[in-house]
Amino acid sequence: AQSVTQLGSHVSVSEGALVLLRCNYSSSVPPYLFWYVQYPNQGLQLLLKYTTGATLVKGINGFEAEFKKSETSFHLTKPSAHMSDAAEYFCAVTSFSGGYNKLIFGAGTRLAVHP
């Protein structure tokens, strides 16, 4: 079975500082991994995904994530935080179950960016 653990339910950074959101996964098969962002009262927007190939994945809004199989991690980073990055971030892994590719989400990390 697949699962996702996001370390840190809340992360606070200063504007311009490095953003690091942690995600570890468990999967019995090669995983497909995703990061989504959710703004208040909205759905989820895909930031980036890893399926196969290059382990460093670049996404929208300057975010990137690195798949590390040995550490079962897929941490999300951004070199310089912007106020508009404040949101909820979800890491997810694909679970092929019952004939469908379902998404298993982590508990989420709320990112706060202060001036």
Partner 1 sequence: GAVVSQHPSRVICKSGTSVKIECRSLDFQATTMFWYRQFPKQSLMLMATSNEGSKATYEQGVEKDKFLINHASLTLSTLTVTSAHPEDSSFYICSAVPPRQPQHFGDGTRLSIL
3-class secondary structure per residue, 36-65: EEECCCCCEEEEEEECCCCCEEECHHHCEE
Place of tokens 């809340």: 10
Q: Judged by CB under 8 A, which of 49, 64, 72, 77 binds partner 1? A: 49
Give the pairing type, strands 10-14 and 109-114: parallel
Taking CB under 8 A as the binding criterion, the range among 21-29, 39-47, 62-70, 79-87 that sits at the site for partner 1 is 39-47
- DSSP summary character for residue 84: G
Nearest to partner 1 of 98, 115 (CB atom): 98
Nearest to partner 1 of 17, 86 (CB atom): 86
Footprint of partner 1 on this chain (CB under 8 A)?
34, 36, 41-46, 49, 90, 98, 100-103, 105-108, 110
